[in-house]
Amino acid sequence: MSLIKQLWIAIIVIVLLAFGSSFFISAYQTKNYLAEQLQVKNIDNATGIALTLSQMDKDLTTLELMLSAQFDTGYYRRIALKDVAGNTVTEFTLPAQQIAAPDWFVSLLNFDINPGIAQIQDGWQRFGSIELESQTDYSLVALWQITKNLALGFLLIAMVCGVVGSVLLNRVRKPLNQVVTQAEALGNRQFITTDEPATFELKRLVAAMNRLTGRVRAMLEQEQKQLNRLQKQYELDTVTGAFNREYCASWLEGYFNNTERREMSCVFLLRINDLQAINLQLGHAATNVWLKHLVDEVQHHHGVRLVSRLNGSDFFVVVDQLDSTAELCQQLITQLNAACLIEPQHKTAPILLVGISLDAVNSRQQTLSQLDAMLVEVEASPPMQTKTLQEAQPHKTLADATDWLKALKHAISSDGISSKTYPVQLRNGSIMHQEAMLRMNINSQWLSAGQILGWARRYQFTSQLDTAMVKRAVQQLAENADMKLAINISDLTLIDVTAHYQLLTILQALPKAICQRLSLEFDERLVVKHQLLFINFTSALKALAVNVGLQKCGYAIGSIKDLEKLGIDYLKVDSAIVLRYQSLDTAQLLSGLIKLAHTLSLTVIAEGVVCAADVDSLLALGFDGLTGPAIG
């Protein structure tokens, strides 16, 4: 029971006790007062009638007429004339009448009054006595009316007390709600501070929580700064901010090791013509500024996933395969020719660009050697500036793009969606969840996500696929109470508010027990670009008890502002970093990343573990769980 409810109950009980006791005391005091007055009236009236009769002739008829006239005034219930021996000579009584008061009230507060008795004299002799009882019905009615007015007055006062109590409780409730909100935020790994209330006890509590929040936030900021420093030192080129050659090599290894990759990518090798001459022309500092500008232009180009500096003049670029490699190459070179000229009178920038789809190659070595060979060919054929390798079409299941779109829609409508699961294993050997990878039935062939998503992205159809996968996942969770599933969510779904509404509508209809076993995962790079949108979506998911995680983490987690506000439950560190864990520099970077995550009570998972011999070493490094070809 909440504190406010307890306070309300206490107030109501106190008011009822106070007003109830006051009500009954007042009612009984009023009854006693009326009873005393009726007793006095009985005695006075009996004495007055006795004096009158003592002065009259003692003719019985005359006495009866006198008593009858007195009784007819209506103020008496009984008048009796008795002789000296106590025998009743004559008696007048009023039959019982209906009283304008409830029976329970009459039985509870009825008057019990002794009759008034007075002696009648006949000269110096006693003639008899008179007994008189006043009518109490009028007094009962008056008492009932007084009691009703008293109860109504007490009710009005109680209502006023309730209003005043509500105002006072609201003044108490506001700081209490602030304390509860701050405590819940701490429980959700969100470190917020609140204003200190005027209430002394709550002021001390809020001050203590604010100090705790400040210390944790300072520690978190320090961990992020340390992680950023390590990343800049070991992962990034100091001049351009691009990733270094080692990161590029491990990224390619991780890409080809991942048989369930969701994305289709193409890669470009960008070379700066005669960088030494540019350095002499512009000077060292200006050349560095131009290189940084060049890398920024590439990084901000639509679909660019990664930029890595291989050496002084060569840059490796990874781009999402949204169009053909030739079209992407032409779009990028056009942008760079417009934005990165050395001199305004030049028509083109001093760069060469060659590209290849990763579907056309099978390994890191083949990729780099193919790009080098293409670059040599371009250099030998001026003024040629670009060249792309005609990408392979290993998944040409359908004739054209229109057929692909029809097939995708048909597969979703005809329940042609399935999944293949891969376990995420925690350090105690238990399974955290199963990663559900898309499978779709196209022309009676079950194709993987990598074979489908390229076409789905071209038609912006990935949100529909994500929705279908979530529906499939919740169906599996409903059928198997022990299963836990994780679903990858695409970038188009993250930025589509309509897709958010569709997913939330599905999840709101589910029992909490199912939502607790479902996890939704988002790429780290998408969260960096759309942080506010992600936070809003995550808040809605967390309200439904759905778990939320980031995957492919490492390159930007330390630079996310207000990391604790993301509302995530776990991190999956990119295999591009995990594969190089044996390097001392990378081990320090991973330790910093794990420490930062553990500060927020996040579970940290290593992606892309390909060798069983690496399991113990990665767990010793601090990882809470592992996933990849070597797990399962």
pLDDT, tens digit, for every residue of 131-163?
888 887 778 888 888 888 888 888 888 888 878
User: Among the ranges 142-151, 169-178, 258-267, which has the highest mean pLDDT value?
Assistant: 142-151
Q: Is residue 211 part of a domain?
A: no
Count CB neighbours of 85 within 10 A: 6
Question: What is the domain-level CATH number for residue 521?
Answer: 3.20.20.450
Q: Is residue 171 part of a domain?
A: no
Q: How many angstroms separate the Cα of 25 from the Cα of each of 20, 150, 263, 375, 588?
A: 8, 11, 83, 105, 80
Tokens of residue 163, six digits: 């209003």
pLDDT of residue 399: 54
* Angle value at C-alpha 238, between 243 and 246, nearest 5 degrees: 35
Query: How many domains does the structure of the chain reveal?
Result: 3
Please compute the mean of the pLDDT values over residues 87-100 and round it to a whole number. Answer: 81
pLDDT above 70 for 398: no
Query: To the nearest whole number, what is the mean pLDDT of the chain?
Result: 85
Nearest to 273 by CA among 404, 384, 410, 152: 384
Kindly state whether residues 596 and 469 are assigned to the same domain.
yes
Nearest to 577 by CA among 549, 562, 556: 556
Range of the domain at 581: 401-626
Residue 400: band (very low, low, confident or very high) from pLDDT cuts 50, 70, 90? low
pLDDT above 80 for 185: no
User: Whole-angstrom Cα distance, residue 184 to residue 193?
Assistant: 12
Domain finish residue from 131, 159, 187: 159
User: Whole-angstrom Cα distance, residue 377 to residue 397?
Assistant: 33
User: Whole-angstrom Cα distance, residue 457 to residue 341?
Assistant: 33
Q: Is residue 72 part of a domain?
A: yes
Phi (first) and psi of residue 145, to 5 degrees: -65, -40
CB 427 within 8 A of CB 623: yes
Please compute the mean of the pLDDT values over residues 10-34 and round it to a whole number. Answer: 81
User: Among the ranges 274-283, 410-419, 443-452, which has the highest mean pLDDT value?
Assistant: 274-283
Per-residue pLDDT of 57-72, as tens digits, reads 778 888 888 888 888 8
The residues, ordered by sequence, that sit 6+ positions from 214 with a Cβ below 8 Å of its Cβ are 193
Locate the DSSP E strands across 273-373. Answer: 304-309, 314-320, 351-357
User: Whole-angstrom Cα distance, residue 89 to residue 448?
Assistant: 120
Kindly state whether residues 113 and 254 are assigned to the same domain.
no
User: Whole-angstrom Cα distance, residue 53 to residue 67?
Assistant: 9
Locate the DSSP E strands across 392-498. Answer: 417-426, 431-442, 445-448, 485-488
The DSSP symbol for 556 reads S
Kindly state whether residues 40 and 100 are assigned to the same domain.
yes
Q: Count of H helices and E strands in the chain?
A: 21, 18
pLDDT of residue 394: 45
pLDDT above 90 for 619: yes
User: Whole-angstrom Cα distance, residue 131 to residue 89?
Assistant: 11
pTM: 0.69
Per-residue pLDDT of 242-256, as tens digits, reads 999 988 998 888 888
pLDDT above 60 for 483: yes
Tokens of residue 112, six digits: 């019990």
Residue 208: band (very low, low, confident or very high) from pLDDT cuts 50, 70, 90? confident
The span from the first CA to the last CA of the chain, in angstroms, equals: 46
Kindly state whether residues 378 and 438 are assigned to the same domain.
no
Tokens of residue 505, six digits: 């509508």
pLDDT of residue 257: 83
Domain finish residue from 159, 177, 204: 159
Residue 469: band (very low, low, confident or very high) from pLDDT cuts 50, 70, 90? very high
Secondary structure (H, E, C), 243-298: ECHHHHHHHHHHHHHCCCCCCCEEEEEEEECCHHHHHHHHCHHHHHHHHHHHHHHH
Please compute the mean of the pLDDT values over residues 596-613 and round it to a whole number. Answer: 89
Domain finish residue from 388, 421, 449: 388
Q: CA neighbours within 13 Å on the CB side: how many for 421? A: 16
Question: What is the domain-level CATH number for residue 121?
Answer: 3.30.110.200
Prior bond of 383 cis (ω within 30°): yes
Among 306-315, 451-460, 561-570, 619-628, the range scoring the smallest mean pLDDT is 451-460
- As a whole-number percent, the residues of the chain with pLDDT over 70 amount to 95
User: Among the ranges 106-110, 121-125, 128-132, which has the highest mean pLDDT value?
Assistant: 128-132
pLDDT above 90 for 388: no
Residue 392: band (very low, low, confident or very high) from pLDDT cuts 50, 70, 90? very low
CB 328 within 8 A of CB 319: yes
Residue 318: band (very low, low, confident or very high) from pLDDT cuts 50, 70, 90? very high
Question: What is the domain-level CATH number for residue 383?
Answer: 3.30.70.270
* 3-state class (DSSP) for residue 429: coil
The residues, ordered by sequence, that sit 6+ positions from 448 with a Cβ below 8 Å of its Cβ are 259, 260, 420, 437, 438, 439
pLDDT of residue 391: 55
Tell me, rounded to whole angstroms, the distance of Cα 598 from its chain centroid: 21
Kindly state whether residues 334 and 410 are assigned to the same domain.
no
Kindly state whether residues 366 and 430 are assigned to the same domain.
no
pLDDT of residue 500: 93
Q: What is the dihedral of CA 531, 537, 540, 543, to 10 degrees?
A: -60
pLDDT of residue 106: 75
Tokens of residue 426, six digits: 């925690």
- As a whole-number percent, the residues of the chain with pLDDT over 90 amount to 26
Please compute the mean of the pLDDT values over residues 362-388 and round it to a whole number. Answer: 87
Per-residue pLDDT of 525-574, as tens digits, reads 888 888 889 999 999 999 999 999 999 888 777 677 777 788 899 999 99
Residue 626: band (very low, low, confident or very high) from pLDDT cuts 50, 70, 90? very high
Please compute the mean of the pLDDT values over residues 391-409 and round it to a whole number. Answer: 65
